[in-house]
Amino acid sequence: MKDEFEFIESIKPEKHHQSSLVLGIGDDAAVYQSTKDMREVVCVDTMIEGVHFTKDTLSAFQIGRKALAINVSDLAAMGAIPRFYLVSIAIPSEWNDHEVAELYRGMKHLAGQFDMDLIGGDTVSAKESLVITVTAIGQVEEHVELYRSKAEPGDAVFVTGSLGSSAAGLELLLDKGREGFFNEEEHQLVKLHQEPFPQVQVGRICADMMVRMALNDVSDGLASEAHELAEASEVTLIIREEDIPFHPALRATKEAVEMLEYACNGGEDFQLIGTICDSKVEELVQKGKKAGVSIHKVGEVQPKSDHPVYIQRQKGTEPLKKNGFNHFR
């Protein structure tokens, strides 16, 4: 990185998608007009080289793409429409100009699919690892409250997509490296880890239903996210093992015990877990089918008990421990 200001000029968007944007990159702060009857939703996540990613498992393009995807997934869990993002990046000398440009190209690629505008950030040097922090901003109607605290006894528990695929893909990448040989099923799992797609469409379906619902994104594993919902709502969640959805590629390559471990404690699937009144769950599933996305009922909500989450298996029901990713464990 020879010149910070030349670099900022090089990543400055050529056009804007959002008509509410008043002033983007080029001043001390971005300015945009808030839409009437809408609430702003803001989230931020940091990725650190060697902790969250390495060049052995992700290309620079994929690192950038995932850095934004993580935040867009949080917006999806709030039912929000993605609008803007800001990027703060600390770049070590080991990263060349092409690689940094690829990071931003990855973010731009995903942002374009949601009409998001890059409106600012910060660029500094780093001594060792690359650090990238993305702030994402979205909007949601003021009556929509898809909060973790909204689950009630009698609700159905649902998840989107398939779970455990990302963790299985990461294991393959750590074993073989990004340039390793993967068969067709393995390649699918690798791609699901490298290029997750945030479930914004499902979040918007949930928002449009205008019913009481709790929602959370699956970033740290099914067990961890289910615990967050249960604890916030002061209820107990029962998850049925037989109903947890797995990708066909995962079923083709792993045993049932491994699949369950990946789903519960692997993380980075960036699907959604939620609760909804049991009488409405089938309507939600059908709305998902019509939109081309899969939604699965996997359990129910019960009154608070000795443990926040239980898993129902063929041999009986047992507590589901919270063993997902934790930075300080």
| Residue 327 domain-assigned (yes or no) | no
Q: Are residues 70 and 203 in the same domain?
A: no
If you write DSSP's letter for every residue of 110-137 in order, what string do you get? HHHHTT-EEEEEEEEE-SSS-EEEEEEE
Q: Is 268 annotated as a binding residue?
A: yes
Residue 230: CATH number of its domain: 3.90.650.10
Q: Is 269 annotated as a binding residue?
A: no
Q: Are residues 123 and 155 in the same domain?
A: no
Q: Are residues 168 and 270 in the same domain?
A: yes
CA distance 258 to 57: 21
Across the range 255-273, mean pLDDT stands at: 95
* Pairing verdict, β 309-313 and 235-240: parallel
Q: Is 219 annotated as a binding residue?
A: yes
Across the range 1-17, mean pLDDT stands at: 79
Q: Is 7 annotated as a binding residue?
A: no
Position 67 scores a pLDDT of 98
Using pLDDT thresholds of 50, 70 and 90, give the confidence band for residue 328.
very low
Q: Is 74 annotated as a binding residue?
A: yes
Average pLDDT, the chain: 93
Residues 34-89 have pLDDT tens digits of 888 899 999 999 999 999 999 999 999 999 999 999 999 999 999 999 999 999 99
For residue 91, which amino acid is it?
A: I
Its domain, for residue 229, covers 148-319
pTM of the model: 0.92
Q: Domain ends where: 109, 141, 173?
A: 141
Residues 206-215 have pLDDT tens digits of 999 999 999 9
Residue 127: CATH number of its domain: 3.30.1330.10
Position 31 scores a pLDDT of 81
Q: Give the chain's domain count.
A: 2
Q: Is 217 annotated as a binding residue?
A: yes
Helix axis angle, 165-176 to 256-265, nearest 10°: 100
**C-beta separation of 252 from 274 below 8 A:** no
Q: Is 122 annotated as a binding residue?
A: yes
Residues 110-131 have pLDDT tens digits of 999 999 999 999 999 999 999 9
Percent of the chain with pLDDT over 70: 96
Using pLDDT thresholds of 50, 70 and 90, give the confidence band for residue 325.
low
Q: Is 220 annotated as a binding residue?
A: yes
